[in-house]
Structure 1
Amino acid sequence: MFAPKNVCPVPFDQQPLNEYLELKKSCFFAWSVLSFNKYINTVFSIFILFLIFVIPIISIIFSNKISLFYVLFYSVLSVNVIFILLFIRLYLGWSYIVKRLLSATVFYEESGWYDGQIWIKTADILTKDRLIGLYEINPYIKRIKYSLLICILLLGLELILLYLI
């Protein structure tokens, strides 16, 4: 995976393909690249886990001034906001990587912020990077966009219900 120094002057950890592999292995981003069924199961598991932690916090904040229904409602609302933030972070991380993979040039820093360089990818590296970006990462980004859209629609529905109740 690592391109030789005579072909690619970009440091190992700043090469787009290596950034993609590191992001794919990271704990936070790894669950977004699972198969669809595992992804859905993981999202629901994380939702339930967050809900278990948020319910006591909401019940302490309101300290028995509201019913159990409202505690559950505000807990689901809070977890939904957390999920929106998680999906935004996932989207930003993956879109940064796909932008670097699809680009014909790579901006990199050899030793610090003051000595930035631009490297123009060779044709074969550009082709390989674009194939990975288009056929591996774009489906993950679409999945994250749909998940984010569902969370935003649920948040809107929850806010409408909150107004009506």
Structure 2
Amino acid sequence: MAAASIALTLLITPKFSPKPIPKRSPTNSRTNSSAIIASSSSSSSSSSKNGSPPDTECPVPWEQQPVNEYQSLSTSFPFSWATADLRDYFSRLAVVGSSFAILVGLPVAAFGTGAVADPSAEALRCGLGAASAGILAITLAVIRMYLGWAYVGNRLLSATVEYEETGWYDGQIWVKTPEVLVRDRLLGSFSVKPVLTRVKLTLVGLAISLAVCVCIFINVDDPRKMQDHAGVKVIAGVYNDEAARSFEPNAFLPEHDFS
């Protein structure tokens, strides 16, 4: 009886059949991986479309980023002169000043003076005028360098960047990330500030030289001040009895002789 009941129970109870696990088709896995790669590439390309690293997500256009502006300025004319060594820097400035003094300043100074009685004094004034013109040309070039480097230095040291997104006066401001801020400030402190210091010292030296040339030019007696009055040469600042008689003959009449 016991064996019969057990056999009946086994016949009535349904057997357990586990559900088969669906296999992942290789087509679906390949599709998913390609979608992930495409999404990652699109995100990286969108973040690096302006030439910045993917982790910075810089929206500033490539040519308006301070680090790229620094690289462009350091290779452009004449701003690259300020980053050269002292010998090349001063030699280039000297060539510019000498060329301007000889080709422009000297002809203008010679044409403005004309023929005079004292060639030595007039030659000194002509040389001072040409030198002043050359110094002025160098000063304008150095001022241009200073303005360009000061602009880039301020953008590197600043925590924000002002830029135009499309170039149609749609100004935007981007706050630098900590990594970009550290990089820009290191570049501005160790690369731009020494250049600005050199340019400032050059401007001070040029200002002193120009002031000295102007003072000497003013204090040199102008030969054109020498005039002929009744056949007597009169020199400004020098007393002469003959010249005084030509100017005021009545003062030398006998009735005014007190001797």
Q: TM-score over 0.5 for the alignment?
A: yes
Instruction: Select between 90-99 and 2-11 the one with higher mean Cα deviation.
Output: 2-11
3-state SS in 2 of match to 1:77: helix
Structure 2: give runs of 5+ residues left out of the alignment: 1-49, 221-259
**What letter corresponds to residue 188 of structure 2 in structure 1?**
G
TM-score, reference length from structure 1: 0.90
Identity of paired residues, percent? Answer: 35
* 2:100 matches 1:58: no
For 2:114 and 2:52, how far apart are their aligned partners in 1?
59
Distance change >3 Å, CA 88–CA 134, structure 1 → 2 = same
- Greater CA radius of gyration, 1 or 2? 2
Q: CA deviation at 1:152?
A: 0.6
Structure 1: give runs of 5+ residues left out of the alignment: none
Q: CA deviation at 1:113?
A: 4.5
Instruction: Select between 12-21 and 84-93 the one with higher mean Cα deviation.
Output: 84-93
TM-score, reference length from structure 2: 0.59
**Structure having greater relative contact order (Cα 8 Å, sep ≥ 6):** 1
**What letter corresponds to residue 59 of structure 1 in structure 2?**
A
For 1:48 and 1:86, how far apart are their aligned partners in 2?
13
1:164 to 216, 219, 223: 219
1:94-153, Cα deviation, whole Å (9 max, x unpaired): 000000000010000011343111111111111111111110111110000000000111
User: In 1, are the aligned partners of 2:155 and 2:161 still within 8 Å (CA)?
Assistant: yes
User: How many residues are treated as equivalent by the alignment?
Assistant: 165
Residue matched to 2:84: 34
User: In 2, are the aligned partners of 1:59 and 1:71 still within 8 Å (CA)?
Assistant: yes
**Going by fraction, where is helix more abundant, 1 or 2?**
1
Q: CA deviation at 1:47?
A: 2.0
Distance change >3 Å, CA 128–CA 156, structure 1 → 2 = same
For 1:113 and 1:93, how far apart are their aligned partners in 2?
23
3-state SS in 1 of match to 2:78: helix
For 1:58 and 1:160, how far apart are their aligned partners in 2?
16
Correspondence list, 1:12-23, <5 A: 12-23=62-73
